[in-house]
Amino acid sequence: MQVTVNEKLILLDLMGKDRETLLGKMADNLCENGFVKNTYKDAILAREKIFPTGLPTQPYGVAIPHTDIEHVNTPAISIARFKEPVEFTIMGEKDVTVPVKLAFMLAMKEKHTQLDMLQKLMAVLQNEDALNFLAAEQNSVSIKTFIQEKLDLKG
């Protein structure tokens, strides 16, 4: 199934007092746009506590919050740039954190699929030029186009 990235799912300079608030805003937005069920937000917040998703990438830390497929209607990726970096626990760690500037919230609908798209997404996260672009670009349509090209998604 096609994964959607559109400008409504790109939240630039998102503000919130903590990690939960920011993730909650991203999840609410996915829900308002019909991509996920109203159970998704709580599931995302609960998952992040048990299975943290911060990645110590350069030059900015990123996070890839996601949760079980039953909370999703249609596959999509929401991208948020935080106004101020916020601490996320690093994936696979208990109490080591990384300041996160960019979050890629994944709403996946099928297990064991989307390999190609996920590999391309990981390549973006490992690419300093790409993260620098995403950290600075002011136009959400340009960001949408950039991500669609990098992940080989149709518009």
Partner 1 sequence: MAEKLVLVACGTGIATSTVVCKRVEELLKENHVSAKVIQCKISEVGSYEDQATLLVTTTIPPREYKMPLVKALNYLTNMNTEKTDKEILDVLK
* Footprint on this chain of partner 1 (rule: CB under 8 A): 47, 50-51, 55-57, 64, 66-69, 90-94, 106, 108, 110-115, 118-119, 122, 125-126
Q: Which is nearer to partner 1, 111 or 154 (CB)?
A: 111
Q: Which is nearer to partner 1, 29 or 114 (CB)?
A: 114
154 membership: H or E segment, kind and range? none
CB of 125 to partner 1, least distance (A): 8
Q: Which is nearer to partner 1, 119 or 142 (CB)?
A: 119
CB of 17 to partner 1, least distance (A): 25
Distances 142 to 6, 10, 71, 153 between C-alpha atoms, Å: 10, 10, 29, 14
Interacting residues of 151 by C-beta distance below 8 A, sequence separation 6+:
3, 5, 77, 117, 120, 121, 124
CB of 16 to partner 1, least distance (A): 23
CB of 88 to partner 1, least distance (A): 13
38 membership: H or E segment, kind and range? none
CB of 65 to partner 1, least distance (A): 10
Distance of alpha carbon 154 from alpha carbon 98, whole angstroms: 32
Q: Which is nearer to partner 1, 76 or 106 (CB)?
A: 106
Residue 88 and residue 98 in contact, taking contact as beta carbons nearer than 8 Å: yes
Q: How far is CA 26 from the centre of its chain?
A: 8
Q: Which is nearer to partner 1, 118 or 135 (CB)?
A: 118
Residue 1 and residue 75 in contact, taking contact as beta carbons nearer than 8 Å: yes
